[in-house]
């Protein structure tokens, strides 16, 4: 398994921006599919965005055009740039690694998870 550490969460007003980072402990990161998920209070954890080792990306419809997922394999780091934030984006955001798939949006496919970082968007 790979260890993942997220950072970059915080409190921001609606319309603002944040950039989340996820640092992986292994150089094999460059071969993993990666993803961001989030869990709002009282709700199930949901898929947000995913990126393959080649850079192919998927997004949930609610963040398309506002969020951008990217990765820097030389730094073992994945990012989530979040713009035009809305109160409904408030959640704990988790990064996850999938060593077996090319890319996935399915929570069960991911083998390693970070501890999460809180994002709060005020109205």
Q: What is the pLDDT of residues 17-60, one digit of tens each?
A: 999 999 999 878 889 999 999 999 999 999 999 999 999 999 99
Q: Write the DSSP assignment of 8-53 as a string of letters.
A: --EEEETT--EEEEEEESSGGGGGSEEEEEEE-TTS--EEEEEE-T
pLDDT tens-place string over residues 57-68:
999 999 999 999
Measured distance CA(16)–CA(37) in Å, rounded = 20
- Hey, what are 4's tokens? 């993942």
Judged against a pLDDT cut of 80, whether residue 12 lies above it is answered with yes
* pLDDT (0 to 100) of residue 48: 98
């Amino acid at each position: 398994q790979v260890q993942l550490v997220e950072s970059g969460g915080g409190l921001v007003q609606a319309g603002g921006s944040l950039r989340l980072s996820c640092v992986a402990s292994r150089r094999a990161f460059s071969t993993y599919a990666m993803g961001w998920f989030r869990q709002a209070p009282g709700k199930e954890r949901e898929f947000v965005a995913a990126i393959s080792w080649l850079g192919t990306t998927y997004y949930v419809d609610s963040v398309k055009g506002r969020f951008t997922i990217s990765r820097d394999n030389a730094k073992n780091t994945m990012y989530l740039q979040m713009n035009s934030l809305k109160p409904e984006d408030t959640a704990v955001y988790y990064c996850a690694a999938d060593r077996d798939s090319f890319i996935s949006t399915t929570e069960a496919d991911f083998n390693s998870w970070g501890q999460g970082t809180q994002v709060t968007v005020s109205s």
